[in-house]
Amino acid sequence: DYILNKDYFIAVIEDLIEMAEEKKEYFIQLDSAIGDGDHGMNLSIGFREVSKNLEEWKSEDINTIFKNAGTALLDKVGGAAGPLYGGFFMKFGLPVKGKDEVTFDEFIEMMESGVAIIEKRGKAVVGDATMVDTLRPAVDAMKKAYHDDGCSPKEAMKIAMEVGAQGSDSTVPLVAKKGRAMRLGERAIGHRDPGSASSAAMLEIFYKHMP
């Protein structure tokens, strides 16, 4: 049976920490065009805090590791992305409480649990030009690929990553309906939503490390 173990999730977190540094300037650029320019800094601050403590958390179960990471993001990151990504990671492991490895069905539940709290907290739907434009279609596509279309777990995650990237692309011509970019009205047209870009980068990492 297909199993994702704790090593997979730790590799993902370690890569998220690296990605937040590598893409910091890019996220700052995107957010400077239609927001307050801090999205790259927010993620960097949050994931540096995760990085400081990850070694200590490694002996915990998957849910506790992500709960700790989510709490760190929530505590350290202000603005919109802190509570949204903080919430994502705090809820991500909840469906597999106490476990050290999960099936792909459980992984899908974890993704659903994380994305659902972002939708609940932010009250954004697809088309509002937020991270939800990346994450919701990605999770739905992953479910369909795995449950209906006979894709393997890694193929299903690849489809999620691709659909998520398209979802981020889809924010470019949109007027934002949530977050700071909302205030720009039509002036937001032609700009990628920063949170949709960071979410797409996260999906790439979940794909990349999958066995």
CA atoms within 13 A on the CB side of 25: 1
Angle between helices 194-208 and 81-92 (to 10 degrees): 30
Q: State which residue, 29 or 103, has the beta carbon closest to Mg ion.
A: 29
For Mg ion, the binding residue among 12, 16, 28, 31 (CB under 5 A) is 31
Q: Does the protein bind Mg ion through residue 128 (CB under 5 A)?
A: no
Stretch 57-96 residues interacting with Mg ion (CB under 5 A): 79
Q: How many CB atoms lie within 10 A of CB 11?
A: 15
Using CB distances below 5 to 8 A depending on partner kind, what does residue 130 bind out of ligand ADP, Mg ion, none? ligand ADP
Cβ distance to Mg ion smaller for residue 31 or 49: 31
122 makes contact, choosing from ligand ADP, Mg ion, none, with CB < 5 to 8 Å by partner type, with ligand ADP
List the one residue out of 132, 138, 97, 99 whose CA is nearest residue 116. Answer: 132
Under the binding rule (CB under 5 A), the answer on residue 35 touching Mg ion is yes
Q: DSSP secondary-structure letter at 176?
A: P
Chain residues binding ligand ADP by CB under 6 A are: 31, 35-36, 38-39, 42, 79-81, 84, 118, 122-124, 130-132, 178-180, 193-196
Where b means 16+ CB within 10 Å and e means fewer, 150-185 reads: ebebeebbbbbbbbbbebbebbeebebebbbbbeee
Give the distance from CA 178 to its chain's centroid: 17
Q: 8 or 26: whose CB is closer to Mg ion?
A: 26
- Residue 100 contacts Mg ion per CB under 5 A: no
CB of 4 or CB of 200, closer to ligand ADP: 200
Ranges assigned E (strand) in the chain: 4-5, 101-102
40 binds, among Mg ion, ligand ADP, none (CB under 5 to 8 A by kind): none
